[in-house]
Chains A and B, each alone.
Chain A
Amino acid sequence: MLVDQTIAKVLEHGLHQGADFAEVFIEDSVSRSLDLLDRKIDQINSGNSYGIGIRLLFGHESCYGYSSDPDPAGLLQLTENLARSKRGEGRVTPKDLRRAPVNDQHRIRLSPEKVGKMDRVELLRSLDQLTRSHGEAIRQVSASILEKKRSMLIANSEGLFREDSRQYMRVRLSAIADTGDGPQGGAESPGVLGGYEFLEEVDLEKLAREAAETALRMAGAGYIDGGVMPVVMGNGFGGVIFHEACGHPLETEAIRKNASPFTGKLGQSIASPVLTAVDDGTIANAWGSLNIDDEGNEAQRTVLIKDGVLQQYLSDRVGAAQVGVPQTGSSRRESYKYAPVSRMRNTYIDKGPDKIEDIIRSVDHGLYAKKLGGGSVDPGTGEFNFAVQEGYIIRKGKVAEPVRGATLIGKGYEVLPKISMIADDLKLAAGICGASSGMVPTTVGQPTLKIDSILVGGR
Chain B
Amino acid sequence: MQPEAAIEHVLGLARQSGLAEVDVLVERGESLGLKIRDAKVEKVDQSTSLGLGVRVLLDGRTGLAYTERLEASALRRVLDEALENAELQDQLEVNLPDPAEDVPAAEALQLYNPELEQLSFEELAEVGLEIEATAKQTDQRVFTLPYLGVSRESGEWILGTSKGTHYRQRANSATTYCGALLQEGESRKTGFWFWQMRDWNRAAAAAIGPKAVKEGTSLLGAKSIQNCKMPVILDEYCAPQLLGMFFRAFHADAAQKGTSRLVGRLGEKIAGENVTLYDDPHIPGARGSSHLDSEGVLTQKLSLVEQGVFENFLYHVESASKEQRTSTGHARRSYNSGIGTGSHNLVMEKGSYSLEELCQQPERALLVTSLEGAAGCNSISGDISIGVQGFLLEKGERVKPVDSITVAGNFFDLLSQIQGLGNCYQPYLSKVFVPPMLLDGLAISG
State the A residues within 8 Å of B (CB). 31, 34-35, 37-38, 40-51, 60-69, 78, 81-82, 84-85, 117-118, 121, 139-140, 176, 178, 182-185, 223, 225-227, 254, 257-259, 261, 337, 339, 373-376, 378, 380-383, 385-387, 404-407, 409-410, 455-459
Interface string of B42-54 (1 = CB under 8 A from A): 1111111110010
Check A85/B386 contact, CB under 8 A, given A48-B67, A140-B257.
Answer: no
Check A49/B68 contact, CB under 8 A, given A43-B338, A67-B47, A140-B257.
Answer: yes
Give B280-295 interface residues, CB cut-off 8 Å to A: none
Q: For the complex, what is the distance from the CA of A225 to the CA of B50, rounded to whole Å?
A: 50
Task: Find out whether the CB atom of B372 lies under 8 angstroms from the CB atom of A37.
Answer: no
Task: Find out whether the CB atom of B181 lies under 8 angstroms from the CB atom of A259.
Answer: yes
Task: Find out whether the CB atom of B37 lies under 8 angstroms from the CB atom of A257.
Answer: yes
Chain A residues with Cβ under 8 A from B125's Cβ? 85
Minimum C-beta distance from B444 to chain A (A): 8
Task: Find out whether the CB atom of A457 lies under 8 angstroms from the CB atom of B386.
Answer: yes
B176 at the interface (CB under 8 A from A): no
Chain B residues with Cβ under 8 A from A66's Cβ? 47-49
Task: Find out whether the CB atom of A409 lies under 8 angstroms from the CB atom of B372.
Answer: yes
Chain B residues with Cβ under 8 A from A254's Cβ? 146
- What is the interface size of chain B, counting residues whose CB is below 8 A from a CB of the partner? 75
Chain A residues with Cβ under 8 A from B137's Cβ? none
Task: Find out whether the CB atom of B443 lies under 8 angstroms from the CB atom of A458.
Answer: yes
Minimum C-beta distance from A118 to chain B (A): 7
Q: For the complex, what is the distance from the CA of A48 to the CA of B67, rounded to whole Å?
A: 5
Task: Find out whether the CB atom of A64 lies under 8 angstroms from the CB atom of B146.
Answer: no
Task: Find out whether the CB atom of B49 lies under 8 angstroms from the CB atom of A380.
Answer: no
Chain B residues with Cβ under 8 A from A337's Cβ? 47, 49
Task: Find out whether the CB atom of A339 lies under 8 angstroms from the CB atom of B385.
Answer: no
Q: For the complex, what is the distance from the CA of A405 to the CA of B256, rounded to whole Å?
A: 25
B381 at the interface (CB under 8 A from A): yes
Give B163-189 interface residues, CB cut-off 8 Å to A: 179, 181, 188-189
Q: Is the interface of A mostly helix, strand, loop or mixed?
A: strand
Most chain A CB within 10 A, of B65, B88, B256, B376, is at: B376
Closest to B40 in A: A61
- Provide 12 A-B residue pairs closer than 8 Å at the C-beta atoms, listed in order of the A residue: A35-B338, A40-B90, A44-B88, A47-B336, A48-B67, A64-B46, A65-B44, A68-B69, A182-B382, A223-B408, A376-B375, A459-B443
Q: Given A65-B45, A85-B121, A455-B404, 10 more contacts at CB 8 Å?
A: A42-B92, A47-B65, A67-B47, A176-B258, A176-B259, A257-B144, A259-B146, A261-B188, A406-B385, A456-B445
Q: For the complex, what is the distance from the CA of A455 to the CA of B89, rounded to whole Å?
A: 47
Q: For the complex, what is the distance from the CA of A46 to the CA of B37, rounded to whole Å?
A: 40
Chain A residues with Cβ under 8 A from B89's Cβ? 41-44
Closest to B379 in A: A185
Task: Find out whether the CB atom of B146 lies under 8 angstroms from the CB atom of A380.
Answer: yes
Q: For the complex, what is the distance from the CA of A385 to the CA of B387, rounded to whole Å?
A: 7
Task: Find out whether the CB atom of A46 lies under 8 angstroms from the CB atom of B81.
Answer: yes
Chain A residues with Cβ under 8 A from B85's Cβ? 44-46, 117
Closest to A61 in B: B42
Which of A40, A50, A82, A457 meets B68, CB within 8 Å? A50
Task: Find out whether the CB atom of A65 lies under 8 angstroms from the CB atom of B259.
Answer: no
Minimum C-beta distance from A132 to chain B (A): 12
Which of B47, B336, B381, B386 meets A45, CB within 8 Å? B336
Task: Find out whether the CB atom of A257 lies under 8 angstroms from the CB atom of B66.
Answer: no
Task: Find out whether the CB atom of A67 lies under 8 angstroms from the CB atom of B64.
Answer: no
Chain B residues with Cβ under 8 A from A69's Cβ? 48, 50
